[in-house]
Chains A and B, each alone.
Chain A
Amino acid sequence: ETGVTQTPRHLVMGMTNKKSLKCEQHLGHNAMYWYKQSAKKPLELMFVYNFKEQTENNSVPSRFSPECPNSSHLFLHLHTLQPEDSALYLCASSQVFIGSNTEAFFGQGTRLTVV
């Protein structure tokens, strides 16, 4: 148990579906992140929230929509995805903003398959 919990662990969705990924952290951290991990590629930062405010959006397509209702919960809303969006989506949290040089702790990820 890492203190960062993601649900669901696996998700298969059609290109016309709408689904959401959920992340919850039990560590009292103030910053939360969404990363995408594809085969043979480095982890790609998608979104950063610091004290519930979005501070980074790394040119992510609008079919991915994040939501951070409080500092413990983070969602990633998905709609009209493409097959190339199939990947492992990882949530992470850190005590303070990652730019302040603090380690990030990751959840177990959601394995997403778009068919």
Chain B
Amino acid sequence: EDQVTQSPEALRLQEGESSSLNCSYTVSGLRGLFWYRQDPGKGPEFLFTLYSAGEEKEKERLKATLTKKESFLHITAPKPEDSATYLCAVTETGANNLFFGTGTRLTVIP
């Protein structure tokens, strides 16, 4: 059973067209939720950690939010350089792992 599900699988946006990526999770005791950005052929780059429902974090055009069942990564006025795959991962109480989703591949068209 998938513990982390990301949607959509792929997203194409025009430059400046804001949108949101979704990460839903089913772990029983969430310890932390992480967002990463991954460019083709490279390792994931850490973006944010969220620990509790209601928490928000921002970085440039990105804002991550967390509820008890899901997280959103909001992208405001994206630019072509924001094109990448965005990965969500969670840790849960008693587990020794980061459980990753399969990612959302974002393409921003000039």
Chain A residues with CB under 8 Å of chain B are: 2, 4, 6, 40-43, 45, 48, 55-56, 58, 88, 90, 92, 97-99, 101, 103-109, 111
| Interface residue from A40, A55, A109 paired with B42 (Cβ < 8 Å) | A109
- Given the known interface contacts A43-B87, A98-B96, the answer about A105 and B46 at a Cβ–Cβ threshold of 8 Å is yes
Q: A43, A56, A101, A109 — which one has the most chain B CB atoms within 10 A of its CB?
A: A43
Q: How far is the CB of B5 from chain A (nearest CB, A)?
A: 10
Q: How far is the CB of B34 from chain A (nearest CB, A)?
A: 6
Task: Tell me if A104 and B45 are in contact (CB < 8 A).
Answer: no
Chain B residues with CB under 8 Å of chain A are: 2, 4, 31-32, 34, 36, 41-46, 49, 51, 87, 89, 91, 94-102
Q: How far is the CB of A101 from chain B (nearest CB, A)?
A: 4
Q: How far is the CB of B18 from chain A (nearest CB, A)?
A: 26
Total A-B residue pairs with C-beta atoms closer than 8 Å? 65
Chain A residues with CB under 8 Å of B46's CB are 103-106
Task: Tell me if A99 and B44 are in contact (CB < 8 A).
Answer: no
Closest residue of chain B to A106 (Cβ to Cβ) is B43
Q: How far is the CB of A55 from chain B (nearest CB, A)?
A: 6
| Interface residue from A6, A90, A111 paired with B44 (Cβ < 8 Å) | A90
Extra contacts, 20 of them, besides A42-B102, A101-B32, A109-B42 (Cβ < 8 A), are A2-B43, A40-B102, A42-B99, A43-B89, A45-B97, A55-B96, A58-B97, A88-B41, A97-B96, A99-B31, A99-B96, A103-B46, A103-B49, A104-B34, A104-B98, A106-B36, A106-B43, A106-B44, A106-B46, A107-B43
Task: Tell me if A101 and B96 are in contact (CB < 8 A).
Answer: no
- Given the known interface contacts A99-B95, A103-B34, the answer about A43 and B42 at a Cβ–Cβ threshold of 8 Å is no
Chain A residues with CB under 8 Å of B95's CB are 99
Chain A residues with CB under 8 Å of B34's CB are 103-104
Report the Cα distance A103→B91, complex, angstroms.
Answer: 10
